[in-house]
Amino acid sequence: MTKVVNLKQPHGAAGKKGVAALPKRLRSAHECPAYEQPSDEYHLDHILHGKMAKLTGGVSPIALALAGFDWWAHLMFSPAKQQMLRQSLMEKTAQITEYAAKAASGAQIDPVITASSTDHRFVSDNWQRWPFNVIEQGFLLSQAWWDEATSGVRGVSEHHLNVASYTARQMLDIISPSNSPLTNPDILQTTQEQGGKNFVQGMLNFMDDAERTKDGKPPAGLETFEVGKNIAATKGKIVYRNKLIELIQYEPTTKEVFAEPILITPAWIMKYYILDLSPENSLVKYLVDKGHTVFMISWKNPDTCDRDTELEDYLHFGIGEALKAVKAITKAPQIHGVGYCLGGTLLSIMVAAHARDGDDSFKTITLLASQVDFEEAGEIMLFVDESQVAFLEDVMWNQGYLDKGQMAGAFEMLRSNDLIWSRMITEYMQGKREPVYDMLAWNADATRMPYRMHSEYLRQLFLKNDLAEGRFMVSGAPIALQDIRTPLFSVGTARDHIAPWKSVYKILLLTASEITFVLTSGGHNAGVVSEPGHKGRTYQMATVPNTAHYKPPGQWQDTTPVTEGSWWDAWQPWLAGHSDGKIKPPAMGDSKEYVPIRDAPGKYVFMT
């Protein structure tokens, strides 16, 4: 396992007297310019699969084939299910035939089927006019039939059935009538009003986007958001840097601050500033203005030379070194730890390891849309099985990392209607540009994932669920989440497809802490970035003592009152209530080991 060494390097210098040498796997790109691709007995397989991934978008064709065969074979040996599907097909055919006949006559009739609340393709009134109402109803009935065909097939593994259902939805989404200018009444109306100019503008938009993609530029309009100027702009200093992180200390804005500082660990899959977007919705600025001393980890964007960086490196050289710096600068014996998404998972691992070793550095921990049990880890599990992980490992083997475009593609396919097809319709067929905002700028600023670390966390957390089941090793010994006694604040978001809130809620089963659980409106990002004053925001919150009986998530949701407003305004008093009064703000860095290196947002955030 990883040996913990002292990485404290004032001003980011290396090789000075008294400074420990970095592990070879943590050398930066300029220190290994002559990178050579490693070789093993599977070298040919790695090359073949890596090239194949460019054609499949990183999805294993074998994984899809196995799921498809499992579904098809069991369906072929299920005569009762086949009869049910034949009967359903006959009924739906009769329904659409009757509906079409009445609609053609101009009669006012109720729809046979309605789209789900999350499907916004057919919300326009234009879809209620003939013949588009018939087209819409026919498509929705076909969609409902395929949903029946890819569910409830006895004998198929749950994972394969989910993949089969997902694949059927993707194919149907491609041929949806909303995607064609001939069958989408909104596109036809726009074309009539503009005399076809929308298609000319749409072609220009497409060419502009293609050029931007080729040149590595951000999507159109996002250039108005500049890191360090109008996003990630909260004032601070880089007070520590190693080959994996920069540590930001934010400048105080109050005469006194709470005694315990806050250390935020963001996910390394994206840049840190999701929690420091524009000044009006920056969680960092909100906390600083409320009198908290805030530190933030900014992860380095890994390159080919970082291929062998381990998950435990992210623990020791990431949170571990940051924690050491925060305590040295503030002289605080304890801190408030905050983790977002995978950063929260990593924080949980660190706290459990500290609990095992008798270290009480954490006064409280806050987990934002973070999972510690991955048995029901949401739709992303469609892309996580042994076949898919092995395929991804081969992709990463060739280049040393998983590219940000390969990751983004998987997430976009989970919400293809919202992230792919709706954009195509609006920007390329109607000739309109989607409005831009700060979160889109952050979303376009993704990072890479080192080969070894990504493989380890996919296998240990997602496939084996080692953390929840007590097999996860830190420094050569297993850790147990049950050892955690620290007061805990956990936030789940109602429409999260990355970390479903019922999966996040499992933290109540796995620790011995008093847990304050919050369920907030919104999705994985928007539910967390939920600043006070944001219209329509609600949350549910309840504190569960460690002696209380367990409530299933549905029961908890039904019995917990809904509060209007931002959960931030409930969390901050919780932090204050677990703090030991106020003190004079600490200095920015110190004059010895943590001399400020440069102004925030630092260097690593600009690495592309």
The amino acid sitting at 288 is V
For residue 256, give the nearest of 580, 594, 596, 567 by alpha carbon: 580
**32 given a catalytic annotation:** no
Q: Name the helix (H) or strand (E) containing 62.
A: helix 61-76
Q: What are residue 502's phi and psi, to 5 degrees? A: -70, -25
477-478 and 473-474 strand pairing: antiparallel
Q: Tokens 């049950």, residue?
A: 482
Nearest alpha-carbon partner for 258 in 581, 568, 572: 581
Secondary structure percentages of the chain, helix, strand, coil, to 5: 45, 10, 40
- Torsion angle of the four alpha carbons 8, 10, 15, 19, in this order, in degrees rounded to the nearest 10: -30
Closest to 423 (Cα-Cα) out of 432, 409, 442, 57? 432
Residue 372's φ and ψ, nearest 5 degrees, are -120, -10
Q: State the Cα–Cα distance between residues 383 and 562, nearest whole angstrom.
A: 34
H or E stretch covering 16 = none
Query: Considering only CA atoms, which of 608, 253, 297, 302 is closest in space to residue 452?
Result: 302
Q: Which residue has the tokens 């007297």?
A: 17
Q: Which residues have C-beta within 8 Å of that of residue 442, sequence separation ≥ 6?
A: 231, 270, 271, 273, 274, 277
CA distance linking residue 485 with residue 514, whole number of Å: 8
Three-state SS string over 241-262 comes to ECCCEEEEEECCCCCCEECCCE
Residue of 63, 161, 338, 341 marked active site: 341
Give the whole-angstrom CA distance, residue 463 versus residue 390: 12
Q: Phi and psi dihedrals of 563, rounded to 5?
A: -115, 135
Residue type, 505: Y
Q: Rounded to an integer, what distance in angstroms lies between the CA atom of residue 485 and that of residue 483?
A: 6
Helix/strand/coil for 485:
coil
> 518, 570 in Cβ contact below 8 A?
yes
Q: Rounded to whole angstroms, how far apart are CA atoms 289 and 572? A: 11
User: Count H helices, E strands: the chain?
Assistant: 21, 17
Q: Which positions are catalytic?
A: 341
